[in-house]
Structure 1
């Protein structure tokens, strides 16, 4: 995505999923900024709920690590698992907007639709992928979209990314 490219929005994401023949259900709710907010306000949406870590290494490689909301991730050691060059840190909000088209608090696997140059390496936690249904923000933290795990993988591939599934949570 270049600076002149406008990031895709929820409606464009949902249209893309429909074009792929991927059924999803989207629930609107007040903005959710944290896992605690999410657990308190989302209601009873079944399936695995995601927590997303937008990370970069010292060589400016970017990673989106998507885990279950309850998962703990050792940020001091994760670079060994995900193939980063040395320790990782959180990516800056400007890079998040440039690459995934979202703001902090709305980080989502669906942001890959905005990473046309495939600069972000996606890592899906194996424990999260044990859920038949995965829930993630549809490019806004004012809704939650439920998608079958196999369909999530189809979406990722359709965006030109590889879905790397690893055990990264404790």
Structure 2
């Protein structure tokens, strides 16, 4: 699925969203520099793997929250975590570095990536990429969780605070 496919899916599911097109961004700091509205709602997404490369995780947290990988491994629970390679990201989600989004899970045909959401995102609007880092869409976290659940990937709600 690509960016236009995301918009089509959201429209067909009657999920309300706002789109802000912008130059490519690769970090939260890049997004901050754009002066988008609602920056406090923008989410940081990490693609992680365990030390045996058997389990992969797409982790979504509020944009400026740091993630302690050791503590996260204990909470979800997992073996030791590290960042997955760009090759693993492409193989599983058809995404490139800097384009990671929880919607990328819709490209996980094997449904083998576990989606981990910070519990603090529940009940909020979140800002995420629609498969490309040239736009940010704002929509309800519950709508994103619903799409992931409908797709069939495992979901873990975790307390990062």
Q: TM-score by structure 1 length?
A: 0.87
SS in 1 for 2:8: helix
Q: Deviations over 1:44-64 (max 9, x none)?
A: 136621111111002321001
Q: 2:82, 2:141 → 1: CA distance?
A: 28
Q: 2:33, 2:58 → 1: CA distance?
A: 25
Q: Which residue of 2 aligns with 1:4?
A: none
Q: 2:51 aligns with which of 42, 50, 58?
A: 58
Q: 2:84, 2:14 → 1: CA distance?
A: 32
Q: 1:118, 1:68 → 2: CA distance?
A: 24
Q: 2:59, 2:105 → 1: CA distance?
A: 12
Q: 1:106 aligns with which of 99, 102, 124?
A: 99
1:119 Cα deviation after fit: 0.9
Structure 1 unaligned residues grouped into runs of 5+:
1-7
User: Deviating runs (4+, > 3 A) in structure 1?
Assistant: none
Q: 1:70, 1:129 → 2: CA distance?
A: 16
Superposition RMSD in Å: 1.5
Q: Which residue of 2 aligns with 1:19?
A: 12
Larger proportion of helix: 2
Q: 1:72 aligns with which of 61, 66, 70?
A: 66
Q: 2:40, 2:28 → 1: CA distance?
A: 15
- Does residue 83 (structure 1) correspond to residue 67 (structure 2)? The answer is no
Q: Deviations over 1:88-140 (max 9, x none)?
A: 1100001101111111111110101101211100000012225x211100000
Q: 1:57, 1:121 → 2: CA distance?
A: 12
Q: 1:148 aligns with which of 134, 140, 154?
A: 140
1:81 Cα deviation after fit: 1.0
47-56 or 159-168, which deviates more: 159-168
Q: 1:68, 1:98 → 2: CA distance?
A: 26
Q: TM-score by structure 2 length?
A: 0.92
